[in-house]
A and B are shown apart, each in its own frame.
Chain A
Amino acid sequence: EAQVTQNPRYLITVTGKKLTVTCSQNMNHEYMSWYRQDPGLGLRQIYYSMNVEVTDKGDVPEGYKVSRKEKRNFPLILESPSPNQTSLYFCASKGISGIDPSSYNEQFFGPGTRLTVL
């Protein structure tokens, strides 16, 4: 089954304790992205990656790091989490190459990770 998986699904942690949220996709997609969802703000992009070893900042990158060493994985790293990073996080992926241009820009989302930083 084609899917995007995230782990963990729920995490409660304390300020300053480094954490990593993993994201993996099995669709051989080039593009992967991280979003955070907050009430009244919708989804905002944190980082994205167009391919292996290529990453770029989104709209709200402060306090986050990412890496793209393999095509299927795109972990989100919080080196020193703070309470304002309490949020619902989504990973997404999509293919950016292909024959049919009308199908190439659909993003597939993971189930979400609910993070609470105390």
Chain B
Amino acid sequence: GDSVTQMEGPVTLSEEAFLTINCTYTATGYPSLFWYVQYPGEGLQLLLKATKADDKGSNKGFEATYRKETTSFHLEKGSVQVSDSAVYFCALSPNYGGSQGNLIFGKGTKLSVKP
């Protein structure tokens, strides 16, 4: 079945460091891909998305490119801030049949950014 694998955390960085969180997927067809973020004590918020191969999603300085050839959707940010401390989830949504609505999540990566 479809699945998402993301790098395990926790990840601890200093402010202004470069961030990469790896995400790879296994899916039938051409899923849509997402990064969700969960700040402490809050629900999940959509950070960015890409719906087809080679699309780049971007938001708040974060970027991820849908790479079909490597089945990857790695999250990157050039300069992290303390306010980026959160748990990041990679997810996919199948684009076929009755599964169109469902999200399949990775296990999450906790990011801590130190001043």
Which A positions have Cβ atoms within 8 angstroms of B? 31, 33, 35, 40-45, 48, 50, 56, 58, 90, 92, 94, 96, 101-102, 105-112
Contacts and interface: CB of A to CB of B under 8 A. Distances in A.
A112 B43 contact: yes
Contact of B107 (A41, A101, A106): A41
B73 interface: no
A42 B43 contact: no
Nearest to A29: B101
A42 B9 CA distance: 12
B1 to A, nearest CB: 9
B59 interface: no
B46 interface: yes
B83 to A, nearest CB: 19
A44 B42 CA distance: 17
A102 B101 contact: no
A107 B34 CA distance: 10
B25 interface: no
28 contacts: A33-B101, A33-B102, A42-B107, A43-B89, A43-B103, A43-B105, A44-B105, A48-B101, A50-B98, A50-B101, A90-B44, A92-B44, A92-B103, A94-B101, A96-B100, A96-B101, A101-B51, A102-B51, A105-B51, A105-B100, A105-B101, A107-B103, A108-B46, A109-B43, A109-B44, A110-B43, A111-B42, A112-B43
A58 B89 CA distance: 19
Given A105-B93, A105-B100, A105-B101, A42 B106 contact: yes
B12 interface: no
B32 interface: yes
A108 B101 CA distance: 12
B77 interface: no
